[in-house]
């Protein structure tokens, strides 16, 4: 699924209201069914018009966008990035009880940041520091260590051997209906639904 063109928007693996009360059902519905769907549709349209790239995976499209012809660079970067980023965002949310990172990932977070709380503080600062639209990420670097990154718009932190583990979408569409302009409240709520088990599986992969 989603190995190459035509890309699809997979249904959410949970109900729209599963993140309540932290993320509201209407936001989840619009975010998945409209925002992500638009990136999928735009990407497919671009690839329909440019069959040379129809065999490319999402990661390949993101990584090779800078080498593409000038008229394709930006739209591929934005739309392949938009699909990649949203698929990761939605797949690293969970609506059960709040989790903390455990296992190998949990140990490394505590070792690198001192404590989970210290990590949460740094990650929150990163998410709040994004000016305008973008994301904050926890990624595994090629040497196996962790780092917190931010990206603007639909850019991704993907580079060879850099593995995104979890991300928070801080575009206003991700929180405005419930949290209005209070991004800090949304970030706090996001921590209650962050899927650290999934992030841990990605880390170990
Ligand atoms: Mn979004």
Q: What is the pLDDT of residues 24-65, one digit of tens each?
A: 999 999 999 999 999 999 999 999 999 999 999 999 999 999
Residue ranges, comma separated, of all CATH 3.55.40.20 domains in the chain are: 103-204
Distance 179 CA to ligand 1 centre (A): 15
Distance 137 CA to ligand 1 centre (A): 14
Q: Domain 24-91 is of which CATH architecture?
A: Orthogonal Bundle (1.10)
Q: Domain 103-204 is of which CATH architecture?
A: 3-Layer(bab) Sandwich (3.55)
CA 41 to chain centre: 18
What is the rounded distance in angstroms from the CA atom of residue 37 to the CA atom of residue 104?
A: 34
Distance 174 CA to ligand 1 centre (A): 5
What is the rounded distance in angstroms from the CA atom of residue 16 to the CA atom of residue 95?
A: 10
Distance 175 CA to ligand 1 centre (A): 9
Distance 36 CA to ligand 1 centre (A): 7
This model's pTM is above 0.95: yes
Give the pLDDT band of residue 2 (cuts 50, 70, 90).
Answer: confident
Q: Is 146 left (phi over 0), alpha (psi -120 to 50) or beta?
A: beta
Q: In the predicted model, what is the mean pLDDT of residues 65-92?
A: 97
Q: Give tens-digit pLDDT for 142-178.
A: 999 999 999 999 999 998 789 999 999 999 999 999 9
Distance 111 CA to ligand 1 centre (A): 31
Distance 151 CA to ligand 1 centre (A): 13
Distance 132 CA to ligand 1 centre (A): 13
Q: Give tens-digit pLDDT for 86-143.
A: 999 999 999 999 999 999 999 999 999 999 999 999 999 999 999 999 999 999 999 9
Distance 39 CA to ligand 1 centre (A): 10
Distance 84 CA to ligand 1 centre (A): 11
pLDDT > 70: percent of the chain: 100
Q: Give tens-digit pLDDT for 140-152.
A: 999 999 999 999 9
* Diameter of the chain measured on Cα atoms: 50
Distance 116 CA to ligand 1 centre (A): 26
Q: Residue 20's pLDDT is what?
A: 98
Residue ranges, comma separated, of all CATH 1.10.287.990 domains in the chain are: 24-91
């Amino acid at each position: 699924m989603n190995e190459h063109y035509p890309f699809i928007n997979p249904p959410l693996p949970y109900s729209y209201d599963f993140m309540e009360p932290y993320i509201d059902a209407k936001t989840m519905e619009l975010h998945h069914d409209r925002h992500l769907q638009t990136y999928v549709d735009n990407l497919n349209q671009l690839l329909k018009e440019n069959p040379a790239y129809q065999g490319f995976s999402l990661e390949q499209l993101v990584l090779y966008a800078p080498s593409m012809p000038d008229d394709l660079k930006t739209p591929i970067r934005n739309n392949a990035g938009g699909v990649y980023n949203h698929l990761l965002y939605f797949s690293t949310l969970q609506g059960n009880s709040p989790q903390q990172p455990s296992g190998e990932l949990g140990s490394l977070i505590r070792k690198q940041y001192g404590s989970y709380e210290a990590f949460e503080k740094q990650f929150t600062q990163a998410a709040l520091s994004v000016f305008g639209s973008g994301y904050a990420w926890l990624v595994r670097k090629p040497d196996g260590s962790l780092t917190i990154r931010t990206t603007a718009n639909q850019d991704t932190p993907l580079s060879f051997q850099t593995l995104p583990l979890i991300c928070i979408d801080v575009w206003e569409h991700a929180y405005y209906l419930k949290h209005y302009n209070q991004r800090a409240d949304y970030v706090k709520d996001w921590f209650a639904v962050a899927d650290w088990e999934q992030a841990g599986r990605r880390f170990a992969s």
